[in-house]
Structure formats: C-alpha cells, structure tokens
Structure 1
Amino acid sequence: MSQCSEDIWREKLNEELKTTSYIYDNVNLLFSTARDNDRLQQEQIDSFINRGVDLLIISPNQVNTITPAIERARRKGIPVVLFDRKTESAHYTAFMGADNYQIGRTMGEYIAHLMGGRGNFVEIRGLEHSSPSIDRHRGLVDALRRYPEVRLIDSRAGDWSEGSGSRVMTEMLNSGDRVDCVFGQNDRMALGARKVLMDRQPDSKARFVGIDALATPGGGIREVKDGRLDASYIYPTRGDRLLQLAVNILEHKPYKNENLLESAIVTPDNAEVMLMQADEMRLQVDNLKQLHAHVDRFLARYNYQKVFLILIILVLSLLIIVLFLFYRGLSLRRRMAEETANAKLKFFTNVSHELRTPLTLITAPVEQLAADDTLTDGQRSLLGVVKRNTDILLRLVNEILDFRKVQNGKMTVHLAHFDLSPALRQWTAMFEPAMKKKSLTLHIEVPDHLFVLSDGYKLERICYNLLSNSVKYTPEGGEIWIRATQSGDRFAIVVEDTGIGIPEDKLKRIFERFFQVETPYTNGTGVGLALVKAFTEMLHGTVTAANRQPQGARFTIEFPVSQPNSDASQTAGVEETERQMAHEEAVDTQKANAEMLTASEKQEPRKRILVVDDNADIRAYLASWLGKYYQVSSAADGREGFETARREAPDLVMSDVMMPVMDGLELCRRLKSDVTTSHIPVLLLTARDMDDSRADAYNCGADGYIVKPFSEDVLLARVKNLIDSRQQLRDAFGGGSDGLNPTKEDKKFTVKLREAIQQHLDDSDFSVEQLGGELGLSRAQLYRKVKAMTGQSPVEILREARLRRADRLLAMTDKTVAEIAYETGFSSPSYFTKCYKDYFGCPPKDAGKGNRKGKEQP
C-alpha cells in the first residue's frame, strides 16, 4: 500500500485494511507513505516492485507523477489498484474510490441552498494537480450554473492540510470582498479557514463546509455536531472492500475495473446519528481486535507447547532406557494437557459470560418487536429467525457454563417424578425445522408412558446434544431414530442415525472434553459429548457409542428408573413447590404489568430508578424501556452510581456486578451501610449465574439478583415488587406488624429520629435543619430519606408527634388548651387548634368526648 500522505483519513484506511486481513491467512500487508513527496513515492513503489510484491495498491499524490512507476509494475506483471485518486496512465488493473465529481456537484447544490440562492463564497482546493481536487472543483462549478446569484468569488489551491487552509483564507481576505460561505475540499482546510476568518472578523456570519466527515476526535462529523462546520461529506475509506478487491484480483475471481464507493452529506440534522453509528462500529472493531489478540496469544501458547512436546519426545527417544525420565516426561505431558484444557475451559467460560450482555440487548428488543401487532408476516418470520438463533446461542453459552459447573463440582441434581415419553416427543420437536431443511426422516419409538424419577433438565440436555450431533452429521435424505425402553428397574434412551459414523480408533475418546473428530462438519466447541457423559454419570447412568451398520452412529444411555438414595415423596414435594413458585412468578408478572399500565394511565407520580452499568448500550436500553414507567437516571460505574444515589436518593438502584472503578457488590455494600441510602433496594443484573456469585450478592445486602439475558416482564415485576416493599417498610416505621424488616442502618436511623423528635417536642424553634444536624444529614438528605421510608416529610412527622403528645395531655390532665399548645412546641394556641382539628377532625376542647373522626392514637 503506497499512501501519498499521512492524515487521520489514511490512518483509518490502514487500520481497516489491517483488521480485514485477519480473515485471510495468506495476506501480508506492507505500508509506505510519501508525505506529499512525488519523488519519494516513486522510490517507494520501485522498492515494492523490486521486493516482488504480488499486488500494488496506490493512492497517487498527483495525476502525472507516478505514471512511469505504474508502467514498470505493469511490465513486471504486478496488478495495480488505484485507490482514492487517479493518474494519467490507463494501465492500471482496477480503481476504487468515491465519485469526486458528484461530491463536488452535491456540495455545490447544498451551498446554494445554505446561502438561500444568493451570496459570495470562496473555495479552497486540494493539491493543485491531484484528481480529487480537479474533479470536485469541476462538479462544484457545474452545479452553480443553476444559481446565477451565488458567486464563486475566489478559488485557490491548498495542499489538504489545515495550515494551507489558514494561509489561503488569509490571502483571500486581503482582497476585501465579503465572504458568506467557505468551501474547503476537506474538513481540515475548512477548519483552518474558519480560524482565520473568525480571528479577523469575529462578527462574521459566514458558513463553513468541508469534505471527509470522519468520526474520529477532531473529525468532520464531530465538528458538524459541535457547530464548527455547517456540513461535511462522508468520503468513505472502506478498507474492507479494497482488500476484498485485491484478493479477488490475485485469486482470479470476477471483479469490476471501476468501483465507486457510496457516500452521503452530513448536516447538523444527521450528524449525531452518524456519530453514534460510527462509535458503535469502532467499538465492534475494537472488540474484534481484542478477540484477535486473544487468538494470537493462544496460538503462540499452542506453538510453544507443540515445540516443547517435540523436544520432550526427542529427549525420551534418546533416553528410553531411563524409566524415571520416561515416567517424568509422561507425567509432565499429562499436566500440561490438563492446564491447557483448563485454560481453554476458563477462556470459553469468560467469553460465555461476556456474551450474556449482548444477548440481552438482542433478545429483549426482539421480544418487544415480535409483540407489535403491526408487523407483517415476513417481518414476524425474520424476527422468529433472530429469536431461534439467539436461543441457540444462549443454549451454547449455558452448555459451556454447565460444563464449568460440573468441573468445579458446583452442579447439583434436581430430581422429579415425570413421564419421559411426552418429554422425549417435546424435545425432539425442537429439531423438526432443521430436519425438514435437510429432508431427514425421524423415527420416534417410545412407549405410551415411561415414568421415571430423574433430573428433567439434564436428560433434556443429553438428548439435545445427541440429536444435535445426529442432525449435523447426517447427510440430506438420511434417517434418525430415537428410542426409549424399560427393562426392570432401568430404562434406556437410544439415538442413532445414518450419518458419517465415527472412526473406530476415535470411539474411545469421543467423550473426552475438547476432543473432536476431524470431519467437514466439525465446527463445535468439543464439550457437548463430554457434558453428556458428565450428566449421565451424575444420574448414575452409563453412555456408550458405537457405529451402526451399514453406516451411521448409535449412542445408548442407560439410567435407573429411580435414583439411588432419593426420597421420592420429598422430591415430589420439591417439584410441586417449584411449580407453585413458577405459577406465582407468572401471576406476579401479569399483575405487575397490569398495575404499571394502570399507573401510567392515571399519570401517578413516577418512582425514580438509578441504572448503574459500564455498558452504554445496556444503560440506554434500560433507560428507554423503564422510562415508560419510571424516572430513570444512569451511572457508568459503581463510584459514580454511589455519589448519584446519595445525591438523588432514588427509589431503587439497578446495577451490574462486573464494572471498573467500583463493582456492583462493593456499590451494594456501601449503599446498605450509608445512612443516607441504606433504605434503597438494590437489584443486581449480571451475566454470572453461579451459586457462589448469588451468595456473594445477598451477603452484600442485595434485595434481588437477575441473570442476563433476562425477561422484560420478570424484571419489571421484580422492580415493582421491590419498590412496593418500601411501603411495607413505612408500615414497619409506624409500628405495624406486617412491614418488611428494615436494615440495621434503617433501624438505627429510626431510633435516633424518634429520640431527637421526643427531646425537642416542647421547643417551638426546633427546625428541620436542627433535626438533620443531630442526625448527621443535610436538610435535603433528611427529607429524601424520611420521605422514602415513611411517605411523609420531616415537618409532617414532627407536627404529628406534637399533636399526638398534645392529645394525650388533653385526655390525662386539666391543663388549658393554650398551656398544652405551648408545652408541645406550637407557636400560638390558634395555630395549634387549627392543626389539631385538621388532624383529629374535632377541636381540642372536644378531645376525649367521643367526637373525633380523625386518626386514632397509635
């Protein structure tokens, strides 16, 4: 790749070429830049030719400077692809770039529209003899023929740099003409001209328009969004398409000689959207680079291990007579293999956890879209495809995590009585679309009823993996059988097919983790059959694999009908309890959604939720979705979330667990230990579903724990239930017996609040500020804390306590109303009488006569 210059646009192109090269094992990229020097570019191209490169990609500095070099490459038989700029030579293989004439014409039309059809404007061109500069100027002039009152009063050449834009603008301003608009043939020259014009004429209303529209810091899209440019034009790089064109030429595949790239104008109306899209694309590219780096590290480790093993074999072949060294080497090999397997499993587990967040951002919006009654059948079908494939991906993620649980000894058995026959038919039905696509014939041979005591989830995973393999390895038009039989106190499940079978020498290793038979169909993780064996052994069963004659494979799994040392009655009770919990959760979900809708229709005051997550997409998604029912604010890490919670006192905090700066567990721990925020319920959302992760969450004081990807309905019901529990906490504050037990910090706060109020009931000057000072809180923090816990303000609680003290004194003493009013902290008897009547429904003089209609004494 011979670049004519260095700038952020060409750096972006180079990065795209490097990223795209990851998918080609046989591509090696070499780069050079001429830094706007024609002679240097010719020398660099000649150097590439002498090295014998297979193909040259050239971005010429000017149209007439590198023609001899292109001719020399042609004589050597080296294909030449011109990118971005053209030359006078017609002996190039292919060209790729934007239509600079059309760009100039489009910008001319836009400038005329921007100026209202009249005014003076100037043009700062690129390098004098470069093809983009020539074509853009030509398109601009042709477009302005339709607008006679739009005058191009000056057009001068720069060299594509910001400094040249400043220099040319200075020369133009010396002419003294008024400038209404400046058109720079790239954004940098337009920005250089803007700086000069604004310095010379601070009150100028001139408009500034450029080309390139990069999304990088200081790029055109950001400048348009921030108002420093009025428009720019995306000048695409598309390194991916450029490299694909080069590969097609080298592999003698069809290609076009002229390849024009699509582009578009960027205005203040669309700049923010384009910037968001570009940022998302850059994020995906960064993720790809990280994954590529991971792969490189693992390949390097693999190569190192391979070399090391070869050395060991050589040493052992020389010292075969020394048994000690032989056994030591064998032991070392086993240990390294185990470490490698554990490293692969740990890597797969971490990747699986990371996949849960993007799965959440896919699954939940798809479910929302699928519920839209306005969708066409075609659109609904496409959403069904997305949903099925995300379910498959989630199954694969769960498979990796299940295997990790088995390896760590964290997987438990959940037994239940059920009829296996309908379950097998239901599990098999999931594969009907895939079988229909390959024209496979399925034979189901199961009895009418087969009652067993076993773990339904693990049996389903076993059958899913075996059927999945049969569908994958059976050619089109083949057959698959699934059979279930019972013999005495044992039952068996058999899955067989007419597929490609298993090499005899591989049968003994087929259930080893990460072991895969090399076939054209091999594309899995190598843990499926290992998981089948692990689950089978957990259920006290056996699994065997054999080849079927004349072709195909057969897998046989045998289990006891009842699990040893199991209490059937107790298991049945557990099963019934789980069904009841599932039913109650469904009812809660429906009820919560109905109440949400009712509250929305009534326009009740909305509760506040704080979302804390380091993933901007998750924050935006939750804010958009929960915003229908609640006021939502957000924070990017635990420390920011803690400060926001102390400042805003939301009704609920929803936080991710794995975050930089401060993780969700530490955030939860601090919220629950701080008197300002201890009453706020905390709901943790996480991709980690291990039991020890849940235990850590609840030990930190979390009120809820939901695993990604989650159901919107279930999450909404959980949020509502947690917020509603605050009302129960208010009852607990008031002495009710049905309230939710407050936290340790809330109990301390309640006692201190009561003591402070009781000590100052007779002090009419005692204020809320003083009350907050005794409790160590500001007036605003005290108000939010007390309001969230009791539903009343501190002023209302203080007045209520005084009125209740006064009511007791009226009933038990002979003191006058005025004496009691002053004794209970009221500034005047008349104000006391009004407050007493408003609270109890009768004047103080009627207290104790049975006339009260208001609130009873607590």
Structure 2
Amino acid sequence: MDLIRKSNLLVCLSLVCLSTCFLACTSGKKTYVIGVSQCSEDSWRMKLNDELRDATYLHDNVELHVVSADDNDKHQIRQINAFMKEDVDLLIVSPNQMNTVTPAIDRAYDSGIPVVLFDRKTDSGKYTAFVGADNEKIGRTIGEYIATRLGGKGTVVEIRGLEGSSPAIERHKGFVSAIRKYPGIRLLASESGTWLQQSGDSVAAKMFARGIVPDYVFGQNDRMAHGAWLAARRCGLEGRIRFVGIDALPGEGGGIELVRDGVLDASYIYPTRGDIVMQQALSILEGRPYERDLYMKAALVTKDNAETMLMQAEEMSHISDQLEKLHRRVDFFFTQYSHQKVYFLLCAIILLLVIVAFAAFNRMVMVRRRMERETAEAKMAFFTDMSHDLRTPLTLIADPVERILDDENLTGRQRHMLGIVRRNAALLLKLVGEILDLRKIQGGKMDLTVTEFNLADAVRLWVDDFKPLAASYEVTIVQKADGDLTVKADYYKVERICYNLISNSLKYNRKGGTVTVEAVRRGGSVEITVADTGVGIPKDVVSRVFDKFYRVRGGGSGTGVGLAVVKAFAELHGGRVSVKSVEGEGSEFKVELPQKVENAILSTPDTLSKHPEGREPDMQKQRKAWIEDVDDDIDGNRQGMSSSLTSGGLGYVAEPDGTSASRPLALVVDDNADVREYVAHLLGGEYDVRQAADGKEGLGMALKTVPDLIVCDVKMPVMDGLEMCRRVKAETATSHVPVILLTSNAQENQRAEGYDSGADAYITKPFSSKVLLSRVRNLLENRKRLKYVYASGADDEARDEADPDSRFMADFGRVVRERMSDSSLSVETISSVLGLSRVQMYRKVKQLTGQSPVEIIRVTRLKKAERLLKTTQMTVSEISYDVGFSSPSYFSKCFKDYFGVQPGEMRETY
C-alpha cells in the first residue's frame, strides 16, 4: 500500500509539472473570439471569408467563427443568439433583411457586444461600426453609365436584390435618381430577385414573356445580370439587349471575366476588403480610434479595362497564395517548435516516471517473490505437520483393514467396501510420503543412496509392472532401452520418477492410445522419455505442471504433488526435467540425469542383494498401492465407464427404456470412481443405479433415461456439477428430477450457489450414509405427494405457469383435449408435439402423475364423455366417436370399468 501511495503522489506531481509547462507555453496576450454571421454563401462572401481568415495571420490572438444563414432570416437570428450565448467578444454581421434581423442585432448590441455591420445595414442605429461600399453612389454611377451609353434615349429594366435588404434599397435609390435626369430614358420595370442567378433568369424571362424588351438590363449584382442574359439568349434576344451588373469579382465565372467575354457590358467593383473589416474590429476591441461608417472606394469595369483588371486580380491571387503557403510553413515551424518543447518535457517526465515505476515494480516483484516463497514455505510446513499427524491414524486404519480382509467370513459387499477403504488409505499414505519427501528436499535434508545398476533392465521391470493395467484399459505400453545403461544413482528415487511419469501418461490417455517409455545415453548423461497420445496439456499452463500443488483445471483427480516430486528428485541428482505437449495430441516428459552422480557416496544396500527385483518389502507394498491408485485414477478420468447396478434375478417388469418399473432409477455422477461406486452401493439396495464420470456424460445420460433422482459431485472435469444441475433443470424432460449435490465446499456462499443452480439438496463431504439415504427417500416421497396433484388435475387447464412441471402438464392436457376426437392419438404423437422422445415423455409423465400417458388419455376421454352425457342429447355412439374411441362397445366397456355403470344408465340417472 505504501508503494501505491508513493506512486500516486508521483503521478500527481508529474501532472502539476506538466500543467505548469503547458501554461508557460501559452501566450500572455488576450485571445479575442469574433463571430461572423454571413447572410448567404456565394462567391463574393466566400472571398470575404478568405480575406478575414488571411487577416488573422497577423493577429495570433484572434479566434474566428464563421457561419452562413443561407438567405434565411430565422436561421440568422438563431446564429446571432448562439453567438450571444457563447459570449463572443465582437459580432460581425451582414443582415439578410433590414427589418426582420434588426431586433436580434439590437439585443446583441444592448448586451454589450460590439457589432460591426458590413456590406449591409439595418434600419436601426444600434451598431458599433459599418464597413462597406456606398451602394447609393454605386447605383447612381450605373445609371449615369447606362444613360451615357444610350445617348440619353432608351429603355431600361432593373432587377433588384432581395426585398428589404439595404443594398437593394440603396442601389435602386441611386439608380433611379441618376436616370431621372434624362427624360429620354424610360424605366420599363423594376422587380425584386434574390441575389441568385436563378432569380435573375426567372424575373427576366417573365418580362420578356410580357413583351418587355429593353435596351439595357441592370442587375443589382453580376449573378442576376448573368441570369437575365441567359434568359435573353433562350428567347432569341441575344445582341439586342445589353446587361450591366455589380460586384466585378475576379476569377472564373466572375464579373470581370463576364465583361471581358462580352456577356456583360459593364460591372462595378464591389470591394470585399476583409482585411479592413478585421482591422476595424480589432481597433474596437483594443480601444483604438476608428471611423464609425467606413465606406470603401470602388470602380467601374468595362470592356476597355477588364483584361487589365483580370491580370491584376490574378497577380493578387498569386501573391495571396504565396502568402498562404508562407503562413502555413511558419505555422508548421511554430507548431513543430511548440510540439518539440512539449515532447521534450513529456519525455523528461515519462523518463522520470519510468525510472520510478521500474524501481517500484522491481521492489514489488521482490516483495511478491518473498511473499510467494514465504507462502509456499508456510503451505509446505502446514502440509508437513499434517502429514506427520496423519501417518499414525492412517497406519491404524490400513493395518486393521488388511487384517479384516483376511477374514473368510466377509460378504462380497463388505469385502468390496473394505477394498475401497484400503485403496484410499494407501493413497493417503503415498501422498503423505511425497509431501514429506518434498519437505526434506526443500530443507536440504534429503540424501541420495547411490547404487550402480542397469537402467535399461530397471526400466523394463518398471514398465512390466504397468502392462496388465494398461492392457485392461486398452492402452499399449512400449519400452525402448539400450542393452547396457549402467548408471550410478538412487535406484528408489529414479523408480519414483518413472512410476509418476508412466502413471500420469496412463491416467490421461485414450482407449487405443500408446505410452512409450525410452531410456538412452546422451554423452555423459542418460535420458528417460515418457510419451503418450493422450489429451495433452493446455499451452497456457504447460510451464506450471511441475509447480507444487498445481492442478490443471478440468484435469480430473490428483493432488499436484507427483510431478513436483519428479522435478525435485531429478534436480537432486543434478539433472533436469522438461515437457512438450500439444492439447488433444499428447505429451512428452523428458528426464535428463547424469550417468554418474558426483559428490555422492556409493553404497550397496543389502536390500538389493537380498531381493532379485531390487526392492525392499515396504517398497513392494507401496508398488501395489501405487498400481491400485493409478487404476482408480484412470477409472475416474475416463468417460463412458458407466454401469447399471441392479439386484439380479428378481424379474422386474421393464419400462420403455429397459429399467425396472418397480424400483426408482438413480443416477450417480462423480469423477472419483471410489466415491461413485460407494454411493452406488448405498443406493443399490432400493434403486436401480446408473453411473457417469463427469457432468457432460451425466447430462447426456439424464436426458436419455430421465432418472427419478440424481446424486452429483460439484467439482468435476469437462462439466462441473453446478452447470450440469442448471442444464438438468432447464430441460423440459428432466426439470422435475430432484438433484442432490455432494461436495467438499461447505461455505455458505458455496451452498447458496448450489441452491441457485437448482439443486434440491446440498450435502457436504464427508457425508453420513444415513443422512444421504434419508434425504433421497425424503425427496422421492415429496415427489410422490405431488403425483396426486398432477394426476387429479391432468385434464385441468388451470396451472401455475411459473412452475415448469405445471406448464408441462398443462401443455400435455391441452394437446390431449385438442386431439381427443382423433382415435389414432398416441404417446408418440404427443411427445412429438411437445418436443420429447417417447421414453422421456413416458418417464416424465409417470414420475409426475404415477400414471402412464395412455391411462391419462383414456381417463380424459371418459371424463369428457361423462360431461357430454349429462349436458347434451348426443347418443352414446356419437359421444364415443366424439371423444376418440374407435368403437362404441369398447367405449362402453372402458366407461363401465371407470365409473361402475354403463353410459346409458348414467344418462337415465340424470
């Protein structure tokens, strides 16, 4: 916890330093936020926006937000309101219309936000400054130009801009005032457009359609003038009418190009000058003097100066592009410089963090290793103390059992139960011995009793010990060893190494598999290799199989001590052990030992000379117990070893699945063969018993046979007991079957988990056989009491929908009622509709009601017939066919057997 607190403090200090660095990199100048609301988005305004952005290059403390209203008053009002909420420092607005947008601009001005109007004005005086051209003067200039070109005589048409916009009003006013001086000039029409080319086209086309064909068309901007020219060309008036516009933008499709190409007779430069607008805004923000109404100069463009104007515009555009590129490069260099400063600081901080983290991690690893070492030592000390304490009671159990087994008066059942006790006592003694050996090695107190022997002969002898066991499980065991492999080593410990490896290979092999044991010389060493074709070891845990007390998940029974002993004994000889494994294909364990153990005293124990096989009497007993233990483990780890225990020769009536009709069927599921067989023997006196070695096999057997009861272990390979219980309760065929969980997990949360999975009872190990049998009888008696409920209401539609068994019986009754009139209705038909096999259907209905499905169908038909006799005028024959009987005579017989009277007699009674 101290390390964590120190690390958190360091991170906080680093963040403070980083924040300080960022603040230091920030300029001390105030940043101004300027909002720009354009009334529309066209080439003239796009040019103005570009100029505004270019102007910010010289002012790095300006943040520009540009939006367009797209000729929509409501949209522009919302934009101005949004800028007010953002609390911008200054607002630049080009009003779409004078009257409608004015209130929003006035509110912004009244709130203290400086307002700069450009291009267009409002009908209010509430603005800080105005920047634009003198539109009235422009209108007069165009009027003078047209009058001069017409020689004071002719006709003119005007296409105005958006109705209510200040440029449209002012240009019209100036234009009319100019032509009014020339009595010979007549204004045939003056109609509004929308500043767009389409509006100029539309307005002109309508005029031409009415027969208005003027000498000149004045469009208040170049786009509307161009649209009018297009309309004239469509109407065949090209060449007869001349067109004049305003804006004179450079570039492709701009007004200057239209004048040069003869589309327009003239245009008037309407300056954008975004730089002047930005300069005016900054003068206001920074408190410098400024001119409230700033009118920009303009000029007329005709055919004579259009080419020159275009050349100048192209040159200006080129210079602007160069400036843009230069600015981008400068920005790039400044950004790079800023980033490099930040990166440098970050690298310094990260380096510091890495150094501290490495130191903390290194210390944490050391602490963890020390804790693991201390935990392992504490665990080993605990097991050692327990092992010492267990040896005496185990000895007092094992020897009396051996003596009792010598009694010839034992029954077969008693001998079998005592055999289980003997095998498990021997298993515990072997485990105790291995734990004590590990403790000795760990404490440096294990000595080597070195003898000289032929390893090839010893390997053949050890393999021969396992051949009968391997043959019984249909596993081939092969031995390969050189003829002369003389070694100087501890015979007993090398034997323990081989026994452990061979037994493991047999435990986790398959039927028809192979175990190969090979001993060869490699230079000054010998190698013992044990390979199998079994299930293999998962890749992610293969490196941990030699750890003390480590068990592969789903690997069946075992303590996790055997392979740890193999590694310890190999290293005690100065050798090493390794493993290669492919999951699903098999494993190969290789032990490399020196041919001669150095720094060891060579001894020649009398035991080796007295016993041809080189084994002490105690070793012979251990060998026998070891082989029995391996036999038991293989039986526990293999699948498909189920057997049915029945009381022979009693002649029970067979049910559809071949089980006894008079005895309940119990399924025992446990991966430990002794426990499984012990429980089966306990139940065998009153029940037919089936066995399964794991949850997956048990679930398959439960679905196939539908037992009356399941006794299941919790911890099992492949599928554990909790998952099996959940699946049993989820299946329609087996949801009613009581499940008893047997487990060594005795904690409350573990018991709760068992009941949550659907278990009907939870019994902890070691358990009392009396308690188990009593609980089994109690569950089956409770199930019998429910039979009356289900049987008496088999044809009743009212069921508890929350209970799966009630739902099942309701569905069963519904199918019977719906198909009652069909005389061919059978159990197979109903089971098909309900999604069960005939056996599952038969056993479930029998267990729930105590009656067979055929009996329930017949009783349901007879009860329906009784109601029809009492409530209708149908004849007996009609009723018999209506309820599904194939003949009236058989119906009458069944009716008499069930109700005690003939159908006709019952009708006469009512």
Which protein is bigger by CA-based radius of gyration? 2
Q: With the length of structure 2 as denominator, give the TM-score of the two structures.
A: 0.35
